[in-house]
Structure 1
Amino acid sequence: MFERIREKLEILADAAKYDVSCSSSGSNRKNHNKGLGDAEGSGICHTYTEDGRCVSLLKILLTNHCIYDCAFCVSRKSNDVKRAAFTVDEVVSLTMNFYRRNYIEGLFLSSGIFKNGDYTMERLLNIVKKLRTEERFNGYIHLKTIPGASAELLQEAGLYVDRMSINLEMPTELGLKLLAPDKSHEDVKAPLGLIKDKIQQLNNEKALIKSTPKFVPAGQSTQMVIGATPESDKEIMHTADHYYRKFNLKRVYYSGYIPISNDNRLPIIGSQPPLIRENRLYQTDWLMRFYGFNITEILNDANPNLDADIDPKLSWALRNLDQFPVDVNTADYKQILRVPGIGVTSALKIVQSRKFGRLYENQLKKIGIAFNRARHFIRYADSPLQLKEFEGGHIKNLILSESTSKYSKQATNQLSLF
């Protein structure tokens, strides 16, 4: 029996690795009545929480059987792979045993779809319900929503989990129809809208009712596969922006396509996913959510794709030199935040520090900004030059050459240790 469970775990944990929608929880589910675990402040999946802690979870599929034949998916029904399925009790037992041994801090549970959406979703619901009510497990639970599942099952599941997510799969409906003709973005919008409305309803009731049930306290997320279809970065990020605004998502994840079949509908891109592009998309996502950028400022008809050589913030600045230099001693927080090399924390420090006097170069370096990059776009108390003396192309080449020199020096220093 033990060997069979171990074999299932190897198969279904390996199949789950393609889902990258893992993050810190943001949940506030506390431990009450001597239960086991506490999700408050915890995250998942060997990632980092907002306070810098690295955390982990048991990340598995309930089954890798699936009625769909999505060309990009390793669990598609036409793929010749070993199939397995856990029972409800097996998942509950694994989670509790791993947690008691301090291997994990929570559970990330997804599944292929066997029979239909309701049949699969009902089993996922039974797992999380049993963990919460019978095992009194208070650790973090992230549950993948099954497309086509009934509203009643989704709403009940939301009472027991911290985060729910459903994969958008492809950035556009056209791309989805090409690689997964049985699926539709409408199947994703329905559950996202349902969960969003329920969260909002309970938040509104808090003003009138002393105690309301916890319902998906860590919110919702989604995931898109990048590089399997020919969408531009503009199309990808405009889709993400739309879903952020319409469904109040906590995160959109961008998963670089990994070649897993010889289907002629799929591109030939070698054995590695497009990691640089994936990274640039995440940086753009960050600019939208934390830096006050509108997506049309970064990606538009004139600039439909991100620059692989430089990050999107620097790329935007070089295209908009008329907005620089920014005087760090007088500019407001939002202007300072747009300077390449200055992050959210550094911008706040600058605004706070200048209350005690004008800021000089040595002070800016101590604050922690990337000074070699930022110096081309700012004015400070002892600025040697004005930005207008440089052209955008010259600044870009200068920054790239400085970066290359810096990394070469670091590599040389590391080699000298041996």
Structure 2
Amino acid sequence: EDDDDVDEEADEQPAGAAENPKREALELVMATMRNWARAVAEGRRSIGGRSGRVISLVGNRMPPAESLLDLGKQIALRARMRTLVQAPRSSVLGLPTLYARFRRQVTREGKHFRAGEEAGRFIDRNLISTGELDALLLVMLRNVRRLIAYADSRRIESTAQHDWLNTLRSRFLTQVFVDEATDLSAVQLACTIELADPALRSWFACGDLRQRITGYGIRDEAEIEWLNRVSETKIDVRSINIGYRQSEKLRELCDALALLLDGGDRQRTEASKGSEEANAWPLLEEGLSGQPLARWLAERIGEVEDAVGRLPSIAIFVDGDALIDPLVGCLQPLLAERNIPVAGCKEGKVVGDEREVRVFDVQHIKGLEFEAVFFVGADLLAERLPDLYRRFVYVGMTRAATYLGLTCEGALPAGLEPLRSHFRTNSWVK
């Protein structure tokens, strides 16, 4: 029960009380007397919860309120002193309880949370959403840093019942590195900053705003400014516009898609120094599925092998693990004619090697790179993820160094139609 008149003198039930009904009753009466004495000293005429029910049961056998006044003042003073002494620990380890109490209060007042039966059940069951959990963790981590940075932190530790602050201090990291940072929310990134040792605050992150493939990841540099304020630091932002290993036509295609993602003008991606580029046109093929799709892929893979003189690294991206095995089954007999093996890579596992064609779920392709990439079923992905599909396509395109093929079961999605002029159709063979 939500009992605001919790006996602060009896945080734990005494050993043996549960097995001894008389002792349990005595402890209950004593806790009630302490709570009643404090209520008298604070000018309250009644108390609720368990203590209130005991008072109702005892009735006129309760001692006169006047006789409890001095005792109540001492109890209230001690409670306030304990609150002060325990404030550092409560500001970290006690935050979940404080937040749960705050949430119940504002819900009763009709603030912050949407009214309704579903929200009520969520809060009554003491559940927490992922966004709330991230924010709660951030506040706890920030408070740990501030306590450690406090000039007299040793006195904080000496007043605590346990060496909890040292335990938390031992978990800090000398340096923190965050890859694919744009897939994390600003709150989550702030949490990673707070994991860095406060004496160094050494934190590095890298990512491409155009490659954000989560609905909650950071969207622009304004959120980095928010990180500066929340983390009480200054993040040094450096921009990189060199495309790693991509051919000129693929860089132009990716820049055009980046323009659709960001709007406005974008800096042109430059070639890396000393790169020797093949410059094949990206291919677009519409109305392909099933066996016709497998034949088209097998023919294009054969063209890549002939052009390079050997089988380079080749990947096929599909929307979901469930589509990997069917496509592998269709491709195997066709590629076997050229002695080219094909393997399915489920759950993001990079199995096999460059001497075979590998099929991946598009969800797990970040950090990979291949000489040739085939992105299958872009229109179906657009139907399933209308807000994010262009970002997945962008990530897929940037995995290819020289050869890129994009296929659709139907037509090219409307959101990609401005890119059509960057593609050729059917074949890399002149």
Q: TM-score, normalised by structure 2?
A: 0.21
Q: In proportion to residue count, which structure has more helix?
A: 2
Q: Which has the greater radius of gyration?
A: 2
